[in-house]
Amino acid sequence: MAERTSKAQQASTSRTHESTRQLKEDLHHLTQTIEELVSATADDSRSNIKELRARAEQRLQDTRARLEARGERAYHDARDSVTQQADACDRYVHDNPWTSIGIGAAVGVVVGMLIGRR
């Protein structure tokens, strides 16, 4: 049961990481485009362009602030989740010391056999 949960968590983490990476790339490109637009229209003196430029700058600042807040929240959620999982592992080892020693020894034997075959 714990293995299924762990695999599901790993798959979810992998999907979240990929989604986050893609979102960062998209937002980076969007930010660059808006910044280029703002720079390109800086010399234009028409009031309509000035108003649009000011609105674009404000939206860009608002979006950045929201994304930074979401990023911080995601970071803290991930950190809390890892901390909880580490605590659960620690509790298991303390509650079942001989089982943990046996698992560690078995893993050591398997790794030793694999290394010895090379």
- Residue-wise pLDDT tens digits, 47-93: 667 777 777 777 777 777 777 888 888 889 899 999 999 999 899 99
In a 3-state reduction of DSSP, which class is residue 43?
Answer: coil
CA distance between the termini of the chain: 34
The whole-model pTM stands at 0.46
Question: Residue 49: its pLDDT value, please?
Answer: 72
Q: ∠ CA 104-3-108 to the nearest 5 degrees?
A: 15
The contacts of residue 14 (CB under 8 Å, 6+ apart) are: none
CA gap 99, 117 in Å, rounded? 27
Lowest-confidence segment of 21-30, 94-103, 106-115 by average pLDDT: 21-30
Average pLDDT, the chain: 79
